[in-house]
Structure 1
Amino acid sequence: MAGLAPGDPQLVSMIVNHLKTQGLFDQFRRDCLADVDTKPAYLNLKQRVDNFVSNHLSNHTWSPHLNKNQLRNNIRQLVLQSGMLEQGVDRIVAQVVDPKVNHIFRPQVERVVREFLSPGSSSEEVPAPLPPAETKPDSNIPEQGL
C-alpha cells in the first residue's frame, strides 16, 4: 500500500472494500432509506407511477387467460422508457442524500480512510480536510429497487 499513489485504482479499490467491510455503505443506505418515504420527491414519484400504471391497466380487460407476467413486464418497460424514474430518483437523491453528504457521510468516510491509511496514528490528530468530492454515482454499488 505504501507504494501506491493517491488516486491509484488499486488503492481506491482497497479503501472502498475497507469501507464496505466496516459497514459504512450499509449504514448510509439504512439512514437514507429511513428518510425516503417522507420526502415530497418520493411521494410525487410514487403518485406518478401509480397513476401511470392505473391508466395503463384501465386499457386492459381482465380475463382468466390474461398473461399477467407479460402485462407486468410490459408496464415495467413502459415506466422505464418514460424517464419518470430517472428524474424522480434524481430528485429523491437531492432531497435525501445530498443534505447528509457533507455533515454526516463525509466525516465518517474521512475518519475510516485515515484509520485505514495510518492504522497506528492517534485519532486525535485532525489532518487537513480532503477536497470536495465529485458527485458521480458509484458504479460499484448495486442499485436498489424502489
Structure 2
Amino acid sequence: MTALPPGDPQLVSMIVSHLKTQGLFDQFRRDCLADVDTKPAYLNLKQRVDNFVSNHLSNHTWSPHLNKNQLRNNIRQLVLQSGMLEQGVDRIVAQVVDPKINHIFRPQVERVVREFLSPGSCSEEPPAPLPSTETKPDSSVTEQGT
C-alpha cells in the first residue's frame, strides 16, 4: 500500500474505502446533521424556500383534477433554477462543517490514515507529559562523589 505514491488515485480510493468502513463518514454526517437545524443559514434557507413555494402555490387554484405530481415537480424545478439552494447550502456548510474540519474531522482522518498506511506501527500517541510538580528523588546521594 505504501508503495503507491501520495495522491495516487488507487491509494486515495483505498483510503476513502477504509475511512468509510471505519464509520468516519457516517459519524461526521451525524455530527453535522445534529447541528444543522439550529444554524441561522438553515433557518434562513428553510424560510426562503417556504415563502417561494407559498407564493407559487398562491397562483394556483386547487381542484380535484389538479395534477399534484406535475405541480410538485414544477415547483422543484423552479426552486432548483432559482439558485437559492446552492447559496443556502454553501452558507450551511460554512456554519456547520467548516468549524469542525480542523479541530474534529482532520485529526480523526489523519489518525485512521496513519493506521491504514502503517498498521501496527502507530499505536495511539501517548499524551504529552505534564510538567511535574513533584520533587525528584534526592539526587544528592549520587552526586556527592563528584
Same fold (TM over 0.5): yes
Once the two structures are TM-superposed, the CA of residue 103 in structure 1 deviates from its matched residue by 0.1
- After superposition, the Cα gap between the structure-2 partners of 1:40 and 1:21, relative to the gap in structure 1 and judged at 3 Å, is same
- After superposition, the Cα gap between the structure-2 partners of 1:43 and 1:93, relative to the gap in structure 1 and judged at 3 Å, is same
Once the two structures are TM-superposed, the CA of residue 123 in structure 1 deviates from its matched residue by 2.1
Once the two structures are TM-superposed, the CA of residue 122 in structure 1 deviates from its matched residue by 3.2
Q: Which has the larger radius of gyration?
A: 2
SS at match of 1:87: helix
Identical amino acids, percent of aligned pairs: 91
**After superposition, what is the alpha-carbon deviation per residue over 1:80-120, rounded to whole angstroms, capped at 9, x for unaligned?**
00000000000000000000000000000000000000101
Once the two structures are TM-superposed, the CA of residue 126 in structure 1 deviates from its matched residue by 8.5
- After superposition, the Cα gap between the structure-2 partners of 1:100 and 1:16, relative to the gap in structure 1 and judged at 3 Å, is same
Contact 2:114 2:122 in 1 (8 A): no
- After superposition, the Cα gap between the structure-2 partners of 1:135 and 1:35, relative to the gap in structure 1 and judged at 3 Å, is farther
For 1:114 and 1:92, the matched residues in 2 are separated by 30
Partner of 1:93: 93
SS at match of 2:143: coil
Once the two structures are TM-superposed, the CA of residue 29 in structure 1 deviates from its matched residue by 0.2
For 1:83 and 1:135, the matched residues in 2 are separated by 66
Structure 2 gaps, min length 5: none
TM-score when normalising by structure 2: 0.84
- After superposition, the Cα gap between the structure-2 partners of 1:48 and 1:27, relative to the gap in structure 1 and judged at 3 Å, is same
Contact 2:15 2:113 in 1 (8 A): yes
For 2:35 and 2:115, the matched residues in 1 are separated by 29
Structure 1 gaps, min length 5: none
Contact 2:41 2:95 in 1 (8 A): yes
For 2:67 and 2:89, the matched residues in 1 are separated by 30
- After superposition, the Cα gap between the structure-2 partners of 1:128 and 1:53, relative to the gap in structure 1 and judged at 3 Å, is farther
For 2:22 and 2:28, the matched residues in 1 are separated by 12
Once the two structures are TM-superposed, the CA of residue 134 in structure 1 deviates from its matched residue by 45
